[in-house]
């Protein structure tokens, strides 16, 4: 009787011996095109499966959906700072201050990464002033950082959303894009149907671009800043770690697992860490020690 012994690499033999899976070592792939879109004030349950949002739900069912993602708290502005600074900084949505704190722009400049904040209804490029309805500053967090507001160069990366279509069409989106729909299109003042229509109209061309086709490196993330303030279901509002409520977060791209769902517990700092790993750079605040959402990638 003869026995055939397969020759396998040592590292895989060791994994088998330890009873581990290579899935444990999933990593976020490097990307030159990360796009983050932030929607407003709706719970996971009000969005997922809602027929008023067919485009968003199509992305959620076709790509990666985080079913255990929770906002950090209420109100809006601390969540936006968790996404860009890894800490809340302030809870005052009406603040007119600027903040000299560690933030994602500082890390992008150190890593020589390009960025833009595409804010719908921004009065003009470089605008760092207060609200001009339907634009609100506290949904455009990069405008608060002194690295941006005090720099005649960096503040020009605060652009109107009209520039997004131009940059997508010309293949010139930066390494990191922060996208802020206005109050009528982010589900804050307008309906979920209006928000979904806006997403379809403006993100479909992005997903058709070369960065998001097979072999491309594009990563699109759509999340909500927080759930309803009145979202007080058992296990949520009385739990400090889930104080902002459960929100729907979708990750899309050619390197994302198809039809993948994860119930792992994530918050905004995990998303910021994921962006940093994808861009190959460090991240600020609590995000520096957070786990990236690596399981969503092939």
Question: Can you give the pLDDT at residue 243?
Answer: 81
Pairs from 285-292 (Cβ < 8 Å, separation ≥ 24): 285/82, 285/85, 285/86, 285/87, 285/102, 286/82, 286/86, 286/87, 287/86, 288/86, 290/86, 292/28
What pTM did the predictor assign? Answer: 0.90
Question: Can you give the pLDDT at residue 3?
Answer: 39
| 184 preceded by a cis bond (ω within 30 of 0) | no
Domain range annotation of the chain: 30-296
Question: Can you give the pLDDT at residue 26?
Answer: 79
Question: Can you give the pLDDT at residue 24?
Answer: 52
Q: Which CATH superfamily is domain 30-296 in?
A: Alkaline Phosphatase, subunit A (3.40.720.10)
Nearest to 248 by CA among 194, 195, 174, 183: 195
Express each pLDDT in 6-33 by its tens digit: 444 444 444 344 444 444 567 999 999 9
Ranges of residues in the chain whose predicted pLDDT is under 70: 1-25, 229-240
Six token digits for residue 269: 């700092």
């Amino acid at each position: 009787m003869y026995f055939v012994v397969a020759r396998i690499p040592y590292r895989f033999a060791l994994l088998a011996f330890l009873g581990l899976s290579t899935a444990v070592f999933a990593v976020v792939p490097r990307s030159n095109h990360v796009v983050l879109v932030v929607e407003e004030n709706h719970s996971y349950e009000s969005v997922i499966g809602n027929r008023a949002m067919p485009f968003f739900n199509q992305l959620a069912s076709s790509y990666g959906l985080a079913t255990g993602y929770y906002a950090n708290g209420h109100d809006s502005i601390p969540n936006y700072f968790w996404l860009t600074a890894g800490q809340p900084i302030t809870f005052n949505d009406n603040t007119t201050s600027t903040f000299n704190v560690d933030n994602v722009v500082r890390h992008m400049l150190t890593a020589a990464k390009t960025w833009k904040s595409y804010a719908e209804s921004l009065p003009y490029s470089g605008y760092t002033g207060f609200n001009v309805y339907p634009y609100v500053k506290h949904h455009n967090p990069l405008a608060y950082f002194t690295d941006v507001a005090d720099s005649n160069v960096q503040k020009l990366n605060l652009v109107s959303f009209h520039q997004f279509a131009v940059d997508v069409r010309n293949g010139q989106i930066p390494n990191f894009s922060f996208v802020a729909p206005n109050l009528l299109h982010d589900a804050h003042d307008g309906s979920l149907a209006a928000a979904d229509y806006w997403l379809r109209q403006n993100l479909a061309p992005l997903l058709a671009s070369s960065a998001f086709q097979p072999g491309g490196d594009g990563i699109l993330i759509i999340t909500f800043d927080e759930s309803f303030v009145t979202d007080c279901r058992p296990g949520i509002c009385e739990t400090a770690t889930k104080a902002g409520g459960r929100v729907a977060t979708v990750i899309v791209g050619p390197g994302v697992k198809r039809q993948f769902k994860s119930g792992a517990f994530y918050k905004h700092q995990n998303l910021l860490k994921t962006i940093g790993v994808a861009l190959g750079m460090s991240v600020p605040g609590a995000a520096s020690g957070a786990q990236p959402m690596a399981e969503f990638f092939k």
